[in-house]
């Protein structure tokens, strides 16, 4: 799963479920990290898009995806790890199958996409 898709999925899943205290803490932490990232880059409008995404994900997905990419959330290890933690809490079976696996190292993103029929490794960046 690519990092942006993971973050978007975690935000939707976290907003739609009660998932318990640990999941709620992870969800709130993920939102706070993303908002902080936006604010540190002077993107206060992006934080508003994040809030609207919870209410109408289908209408605001493309906007939020662009904002997350521009802000570098897809390369932010802390945001990705928290999104993975949330998805593991909410969907433990899929997490055990490796569905939410994303690795970041050396400033490049390496993604691992797993399906029941095989494994696909995707490497991004100049070292790929």
- The pLDDT value given to residue 73: 92
Tokens of 114: 């797993």
Between CA 13 and CA 95 the distance in angstroms is 14
Task: Give, rounded to a whole angstrom, the gap between the first and last alpha carbons of the chain.
Answer: 17
Between CA 76 and CA 57 the distance in angstroms is 22
Q: Answer yes or no: are the C-beta atoms of 69 and 4 closer than 8 Å.
A: yes
pTM for this entry = 0.71
Low-confidence ranges of the chain (pLDDT < 50): 108-109, 112-118
Between CA 24 and CA 57 the distance in angstroms is 19
């Amino acid at each position: 799963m690519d990092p942006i898709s993971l973050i978007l999925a975690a935000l939707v899943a976290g907003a739609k479920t009660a998932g318990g205290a640990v999941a709620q803490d992870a969800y709130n932490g993920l939102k706070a990290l993303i908002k902080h990232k936006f604010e540190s880059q002077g993107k206060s409008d992006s934080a508003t898009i994040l809030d609207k995404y919870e209410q109408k994900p289908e209408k605001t997905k493309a906007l939020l995806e662009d904002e997350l990419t521009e802000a570098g959330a897809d390369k932010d290890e802390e945001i990705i790890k928290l999104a993975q933690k949330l998805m593991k809490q909410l969907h433990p079976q899929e997490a055990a199958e490796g569905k939410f696996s994303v690795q970041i190292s050396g400033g490049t993103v390496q993604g691992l996409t797993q399906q029941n029929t095989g494994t696909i490794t995707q490497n991004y960046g100049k070292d790929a």
